[in-house]
Chain A
Amino acid sequence: MAGIPSAGLPPFRALIHSRYNRRGKNVRELAEFAISVATGSGASYADARVIDQVSQEIETKDLSVASINLGKSQGLGIRVLCNGGWGFASTQNLTKRAIEKAARTAVAVAKASAACLEKPVTLAPEPVYNAHWVSPHLLDPFTVSLETKVGVLLEAARIMKAVKGVTLAQGVMTFVKESKFFASSEGSRIQQTFIRSSCGIVAHATAEGDRQRRSWPNSAGGQHELAGWEMVVRWDLPGNAQRIAEEAVALLTAPPCPQTVTDVILGSSQLGLQIHESCGHPSELDRALGQEINFAGASFLTPDKLHSLQYGSPIVNLVADATASGALGSFGFDDEGVQAQRVYLVKDGLFCGYLSSRDTAHLIGLPRSGGAMRAESWARVPIIRMTNISLVPGDAGSLEDIIAGTDDGILMETNKSWSIDNLRYNFQFSTEIGWEVKNGKRGRMLKNCSYGGITPVFWNSCDAVGGRQDYIEWGVPNCGKGQPMQTMWTGHGAPPARFRDVQVGMAHAG
């Protein structure tokens, strides 16, 4: 895969101060009113989020615009503790009457919860903040015309369709601008502004009994970043369209991935999803404590394994980093007012940390939340979510360096399919493309590549972690969790890495 040019972003702009604009004063009053109604109705704790979000989604199919959907949403969500139980309600009507009703509903719901509790909720302490945070961006994508955006996608489509054998060319861009004000009964007042952008293209090639595709920069909607229009320019969709189109067509006649045990080199984007599924989710403390067992599942990383399980080989270091500049899962403060942190989950291969919240931290003896509580929107309650779960770069150099150091193996890149059990042990991934690696060189292209294993066995087989050269902060915008399900913006920094003696090719072996 071709590399991308240097991001060229300015230093991280996390502005911490206590000034508010005119609108800020208004939402502050509304949030404080919600909190005062809740505490006046019996809540021992309350927090409120007022969110204003605008969005654009543009999809192209071949040489036409398939859809343009524009959205605007605003509302207030209020979360309260009453008699030790949680309650949450929301309203999109930002009048005092509607907010009062929502706050009283939240208290009534909390009282119903309290009637059905094993133990009352306890919140870990967190300092009070008065802060203002803006996500880093160079150019607000909402100042770029729809014509320009469509033009980039159609130019890429034209190039893909010019390649003989391409049967469908797709493109997509999404942009979200979110303004969020948080207030708590403890005194925190936090204003944050997020700009999220994404872009991606896909070339499909269909033959009798075969469907192949190639995506750029990644599958599942492309790349997603906490960034502005500059990310679209940087990922250069038209400049990569011909290569992926030719690869899609070539895959139709490529030999299939063999069913065998061999060394596997994972390209950066595939490793990003591997981290998401096999490290990010199992290190969510609510899962480990059984709170998500009905839907998302539990975790093999139970608290008794903390500081004792050798999760991976000694070169494996994984962090939850909500401070990574431009990464999709970054923020200034989470949705219960905890400041962004960088927390080790695995250090030198040893499992050493969780993604946590104020109401779970004390259950494993943590003095403070790790700051991972986020909600999909103003209408949803915050739950523990991944921030940016990333593999710290190692000393194995570039992807080409790792290939050069591999005698016999398969390089796999760009996710096509992903599945893992509900404790996060048994996983299987497929990728869009693979290549044989023989005697330190990239060989034949392979189609229908798949690999699988058991999480700690797999990570303990890691013997090469690439360096900064090919490290990319990938964005996963659609992580599903919770009931009702919430999707969340998460990120995964990943270099390429090598894993020894991995089972491959099982997906098509039946």
Chain B
Amino acid sequence: MITEKQAKKIIDLALSHARGKADGAEVHVMASDVATSRFANNGMTQNQAPSAVTVSVRVLVDGRQARLSGNQTSAQAVRQLVDNAISAARLLERDPNLLPLHKPTGDDGARNVARFDRKTAVMSPDQRAERIASIIDVARSHDLSAAGTFSSGANVLALGNSEGLFAFHRESEAECSITMTARDSSGWAKAHSPQAAMIDSEAMARRAAEKALASRNPGEIEPGKYTVILEPSAVLDLLVFLWYDFAGTSHLDQLSCFLNKVGQKVLGSNMTIHDDVYHALQAGAPFDGEGLPRQVITLVENGVVKNLVYGRRSAGKFGVAPTGHGVMEPSAMGEYPLNIVIAGGSTSIDEMIAATDRGILLTRVWYVREVDPATKIVTGMTRDGTFLVEGGKIKQGVKNLRFNVSLIEMLNNVVALGPSLRTAGEEGFPAVVPAMKVDNFNFSSTTRF
């Protein structure tokens, strides 16, 4: 894995080569060494240890800009990358809205986060295989079939520019995902953390196995509106379709569902949502694509849309200060809140079940897609552990259901919140979200399993 010193050397080389040729230059060095072991049908199926470094240069030349990325790090290759970026920029028309590069100040609120665990970064294929063997043992002991992944490694992000900026972030990561299947049922669990030691893969295997066993011989229920208990992964994979609507650029483009609603109460009073990279359960770099420190932003407070996030470009158009959420420029997207934290409550999932006369418990949702960007209707399926709750107890597994639900309406119908947990799903970035009990969740059809 590339070190801070090596990354800075590459950045300094590129900036030095651009000096005198370009009006400004910005250099990202991104490295990834994350190995993934996959298993299915109680055996290892794929095992890969890729490694990659990318150098990405943005140059400003006479009111024009271009970005060029490459994966060669020799001095000659880096110099050529800069020269080619300058040549590309010269081919373009001047951009009257082009901003100068970010110039760091001493009091910009930059804070470091420590998210590197050496043991996780150097975990061996044999250690991953041991984890997987223990998962398969759980499956075999219950006559189930296990499939999933265990990955481990580290990522590096370094950024410098010709205005004196240098920022470096190194982070380890481990992820485990498990599906246990029986003849007509399945269960699932997933976790992601900067520390492999924080992932109890054997306990996850037991949890997935319990769900698979408990949902055998699923019944079929009629589609319609139900009270649902959404486990945190289900919450995460639904609400990820809402996050870009908090980006300033989505308002400039008149696409956000919150257009002209900032300051208004749009969601339920129990909804408070922050973007907070510094939260103890969060991951990621504390600076954005142009090197600005990420700020903690309250997006929603007690149901009121309070703030948007801004990169430098959208902030300029709104006449506000950037919040440190910009993506790498140039970009049509502008910015994105990457570190969502939803304020939780104190109701456990067991307590939610106990207080439900009739409802459905969802372990996870699948293939969620936006149907209507204005009303924020999304559709998707339940998967890997869907249960009918009756009389305060789980009655039986049920065949999977398709939903069509407005996220705005859903967040007005939340009647109980669990504690917020670091949660991984499949549709978006891991985030810190609670389980939710939601009334009037609309299921439109069933499927055959």
Contacts and interface: CB of A to CB of B under 8 A. Distances in A.
B332 A85 contact: no
B147 interface: yes
B242 interface: no
Which of A105, A106, A117, A483 gathers the greatest number of chain B CB atoms within 10 Å? Answer: A483
A75 B259 CA distance: 45
Contacts of B367: 419-422
A381 B448 contact: no
A216 interface: no
A221 B286 CA distance: 31
Given A85-B47, A425-B449, A68 B67 contact: yes
Interface in A463-477: none
Interface stretch (A203-211, A318-326, A335-343, A435-443): A203-211
Interface in B88-130: 88, 91-93, 95, 97, 124-126, 128-129
Nearest to A79: B48
Interface stretch (B304-312, B336-344, B401-409): B401-409
A483 B444 contact: no
Nearest to B133: A116
B136 interface: yes
A425 B447 contact: yes
A289 B147 CA distance: 12
A65 B330 contact: yes
A130 to B, nearest CB: 28
A75 B371 CA distance: 39
Nearest to B255: A211
Nearest to A277: B367
Interface stretch (A231-239, A291-299, A347-355): A291-299
B447 A426 contact: yes
A418 B51 contact: no
Contact of B42 (A118, A210, A510): A118
A294 B46 contact: no
Contacts of A507: 371-372, 377, 379, 404, 444
A19 B177 CA distance: 46
A290 B40 contact: yes
B374 interface: yes
A86 interface: yes
A92 interface: yes
Interface string B429-449: 000000000000010111111
A504 to B, nearest CB: 12
Contacts, number: 274
B70 interface: yes
A308 B37 CA distance: 35
B52 interface: yes
Interface string A46-76: 0000000000000101001111111111110
Contacts of B178: 294
Contacts of B50: 77, 88-90, 379-380
A509 B224 CA distance: 11
Interface residues of B, number: 93
Nearest to A73: B71
Contacts of A167: 253-254
A145 B35 CA distance: 39
Query: What does DSSP make chain B's interface, helix, strand, loop or mixed?
Result: strand
Given A65-B93, A145-B91, A150-B92, A421 B125 contact: no
A423 B148 contact: no
Given A145-B91, A295-B426, A426-B402, A508 B377 contact: yes
A141 interface: no
B331 interface: yes
Interface residues of A, number: 87
A387 to B, nearest CB: 20
A206 B51 contact: no
A291 B145 CA distance: 11
Contacts of A398: none
A309 to B, nearest CB: 13
Interface stretch (A184-192, A406-414, A446-454): A446-454
Given A71-B69, A108-B125, A294 B373 contact: no
A434 interface: no
Contacts of A109: 35, 47-49, 125
B264 to A, nearest CB: 14
A71 B181 contact: no
B254 A92 contact: no
B370 to A, nearest CB: 6
Nearest to B89: A68
Interface in B240-257: 253-255
A116 B128 CA distance: 11
A197 interface: no
A291 B45 CA distance: 7
Nearest to B135: A116
B348 interface: no
Contacts of A73: 54, 69-71
Contacts of A290: 40-41, 145, 147, 181
A299 B225 CA distance: 28
Contacts of A89: 48-51
A289 B41 contact: yes
A102 B366 CA distance: 36
A422 B447 CA distance: 10
A428 B368 CA distance: 11
Interface in B22-75: 34-54, 66-72
Contacts of B406: 510
A503 B223 CA distance: 14
A92 B85 CA distance: 21
B132 interface: yes
A247 B381 CA distance: 31
Contacts of A509: 404, 444
Contacts of A420: 367, 381
Given A86-B47, A110-B47, A116-B133, A211 B381 contact: no
B402 A421 contact: yes
Given A70-B84, A426-B402, A509-B404, A75 B71 contact: yes
B332 A59 contact: yes
Interface in A274-307: 289-295, 297, 300
Nearest to A56: B88
A69 B66 CA distance: 7
A74 B253 contact: no
B68 A293 contact: no
Contact of B44 (A72, A85, A88, A209): A85
B43 to A, nearest CB: 3
Contact of B373 (A64, A72, A119, A211): A211
Contacts of A448: 372
Contact of B43 (A61, A90, A92, A116): A116
A452 B223 CA distance: 14
B380 interface: yes
A114 B132 CA distance: 12
B72 A74 contact: yes
A71 B44 contact: no
A71 B70 contact: yes
Give 7 closest A-B pairs by Cβ, nearest first.
A118-B43, A510-B442, A112-B125, A426-B447, A66-B332, A67-B330, A88-B48
30 contacts: A65-B92, A66-B331, A68-B66, A69-B69, A70-B69, A70-B84, A71-B69, A72-B70, A90-B51, A91-B51, A92-B72, A105-B49, A116-B132, A117-B43, A118-B42, A211-B372, A291-B45, A292-B40, A294-B38, A294-B147, A294-B178, A420-B381, A425-B448, A426-B402, A448-B372, A484-B36, A484-B151, A507-B379, A507-B444, A509-B444
